[in-house]
Amino acid sequence: MPEQPLTRVIEFDPEDEYRPEPEPEAAPPTWMDGSLRIGIHTSIAGGYTNALDSAHKLGCNALQIFSASPRMWAGGPSRIPEVDAVAFHARRQKLGLGPLVIHANYLINLAAQQPMLRTRSIQAFHDELVRGIALGAEFVVVHPGACGECKPDQAVRLAIDSVKQASKNLPATSLRILLENTAGMGTALGARLEELGEMLSALQGLEVGACLDTAHLFAAGYDIRSETGLASTLELIDRAIGLERVPVFHVNDSKIPLGGRVDRHEHIGKGKIGAEAFRRFLTHPRLSAIAPEGLPGRAFLAETPIDDPGDDRRNVAALWEFAGLKDQAPEAEKGFSMLTAAAKKKVAQQVKSQRKTSQAASRKMPASVAPADRLPRSSRSGGRFLQPSKKSPAKPKKRRRG
């Protein structure tokens, strides 16, 4: 073998140029490790990090929050102060919670025909996205809206256009918008899976997907209660949307029978859908968090009522149990609930006094108007929402809907 000269480089080879180490490819977040993610909607009363602590104490490894009061246009700051965002990131990291899902304000109507309401909705949704990015959320869930008078296809166009406008001028982000299916109350868009799919297709190019709610599916007429019903619904989801585009499910039982088109959530396994159906749902291979059949990081989040202290903890436990993962569930703090007995009592007293006031008022009003219709929305929900803490910047009254 002829000897190779050690130095025979005459010309400069651009390949020899010093280059820094290539950027390592971002490792997927730990919550995408194939484990099932289970959580519940938690309250930001008293500060954003409280929601993380509550989720942790309730035995969750994922969570959903509001980033401001869900029933007010100006429900707190439109931007998150840097110091809060930093504390939130650190705490979330420490507790290993993910994904983080933000549910958008209920007043937002992306399909509103009335220009003022639509402009306001687009602005409010844009602010949701900005806050979502600041908090490092993976997903922002929004309802597609309701058209009122106009034709459904026109409403669909309005909703699509609103999402596009709200998504303009955002900082670089991995945040994804998820359109949620609805129960189909009134003229609400998104009760039909095909319609939701149509909207998603029109939004191609944006980071969008779907969040499907079991109670809404059922109320909209998809019989996920039976084995064959679940199979055909999953097939339809896959065809109309693509299961890989559904990283989040809202897991709620329904107070409303099949096809009732009203949105009323019930405790997991205690409603019209029932325990057996949830067991089947949460163990279905296509809904798992393991590729290729499932989707890594897939989350199942409850938005169930808290009628009594501990209902939140029990619903999370039910999800782990029905998923067959009771032994892998993070340990919940014994006795912890977002609704304390004292708060429940306070709410009950408020409802009572509001009722008295309204009854007194109703004596002076025509009998044709039912007193309940004149009560403020929140007071009709009994103990199902939480009292905001005095420290809270926002007032997250929790009526579990959405």
Binding residues vs Zn ion (CB under 5 A): 213, 250, 263, 401-402
Residue 38 near residue 304, CB atoms below 8 Å: no
Closest contact distance (angstroms) between CB of 400 and Zn ion is: 8
Q: Which residue has the tokens 């993380």?
A: 52
For the CB of residue 105, give the shortest distance to Zn ion in the complex, in Å. Answer: 14
For Zn ion, the closer CB: 75 or 402? 402
- 19 Cβ contact partners less than 8 Å away, ≥ 6 residues apart: none
Q: How far is the CB of 349 from Zn ion (least distance, A)?
A: 28
Name 363's Cβ contacts closer than 8 Å, sequence gap at least 6.
none
107 and 66 Cβ atoms separated by less than 8 Å: no
| Three-state DSSP class for residue 159 | helix
Instruction: Provide the token pair at 377.
Output: 């929305």
Given the complex with Zn ion, which of 219 and 295 has the nearer CB atom? Answer: 219
Q: Which is nearer to Zn ion, 60 or 80 (CB)?
A: 60
Least distance between Zn ion and beta carbon 213 (Å)? 4
- Residue 117 or 185: the one with the smaller Cβ distance to Zn ion is 185
Element (H, E) at 348: helix 341-363
Of the pair 46, 260, the CB lying nearest Zn ion is at 260
Q: In whole angstroms, what is the distance from residue 369 CA to residue 300 CA?
A: 41
| Least Å from the CB of residue 389 to Zn ion | 24
Q: Find out whether 60 and 312 touch, Cβ atoms under 8 Å.
A: no
Nearest distance from residue 64's CB to Zn ion, in Å? Answer: 9
* Cβ neighbours of residue 192 closer than 8 Å, sequence gap 6 or more: 184, 220
CB of 212 or CB of 295, closer to Zn ion: 212
What single DSSP character describes residue 380? G
Nearest-CB residue for Zn ion:
250
